[in-house]
Amino acid sequence: MPGRKRAAVLGHPIGHSRSPQLHRAAYEYLGFDCSYEAIDVEEAAAADFAAAARQDPAWNGLSVTMPLKAAMAAAVDHLDPLAHALGVLNTVTFDHGPGGAVLTGWNTDVLGLVNALRHAGAGDAPRGIVLGAGGTACAAVAAFSRMGCTAVDVYARSHQRGDQAQNTQSRGSAQAANVSKVGAALGITVNLHPWNDAAQACAEADVVICTLPPRGADALADAFDALGAARTGAVLLDAAYDPWPSRIAQAWESAGGTIVPGLEMLLYQAVEQVRLFTGNAFRDEDAVINVMCDAVGLPAR
């Protein structure tokens, strides 16, 4: 319809995304006239997509998921301070003008993590650990910083004792170095540890954020399970939300801990995107959150 705004989530693959359900529910509640779709965009095409969208006045906002978060960060005109520090974005807004739109990149993943953990009962300045060292791990480090931590322990599968730890040419080592760089930019100390120490660390932490791909922590779950640790009061968030519960989440819950699905993170990062995309139309945050919860089968707040 004429004048209708347009928004979308970009990624590859993208068919599994729950973002359309979340955003459409929020827009309907707010009476905000904006479509929202999932568009498959490969990493090499990110810059061309941004250039074309810049010239289309219908575009209102973009949600950005893997593997485009760094590529789109390089394609926008401005980054907010957090996205700049992380080097990745998950949100793009449009400020349209006579010469085309000015694109600004944001990162709402951090607030998504913080608010999901807060909702689950995580306290201030927890002893936090991050499993993995990719892009989501950078957001996890930033989330712990927002929660008052001055240091965080990161366990990367590429980080091993001995000669392997010196292999700075590997992709995994580069990722680990980037997580440390992000920590320095945010003023939080990142301590890198060998992966084979991760199970014991999980048995001692207050909050664990697992940023590994689906099933990536299955072997770790078995090692953690074998420790027989009691985890009452401790929180684990697994950013991978399919399958759920993951093996590591099952082991954590069996030990008495609180588990948080990645869908909770997706919910809260989407709330912040809706706030950015709708501007003055945003209202009744609690009600917006609940209609979004209902859209994806999460319990009402």
Helix (H, G, I), strand (E, B) or coil at 64: strand
When the candidates are 3.40.50.2300, 3.40.50.720, 3.30.43.10, 1.10.357.10, the CATH number that belongs to 110-256 is: 3.40.50.720
Where along the chain do its domains lie?
5-107+264-296, 110-256
Using the predicted structure, report yes or no on whether residue 125 has a pLDDT greater than 70. yes
| Reported pTM | 0.93
Catalytic residue among 5, 69, 159, 231: 69
Residue 162 has pLDDT above 80, yes or no: no
pLDDT tens digits, 218-274: 999 999 999 999 999 999 999 998 899 999 999 999 999 999 999 999 999 999 999
Q: What is the largest CA-CA distance in the chain?
A: 64
Known active-site residue 181 = no
| Res 2 pLDDT > 90 | no
Same fold yes or no, 5-107+264-296 and 110-256: yes
pLDDT of residue 157: 87
| Range name among 13-17, 98-102, 106-110, 161-165 with the lowest pLDDT average | 161-165
Domain 5-107+264-296 sits in CATH 3.40.50.300: no
Element containing residue 79 per DSSP (H, E): strand 78-79
Percent of the chain surpassing pLDDT 90 = 90
H helix runs in 187-236, sequence order: 198-202, 218-227
H helix count then E strand count, the chain = 12, 12
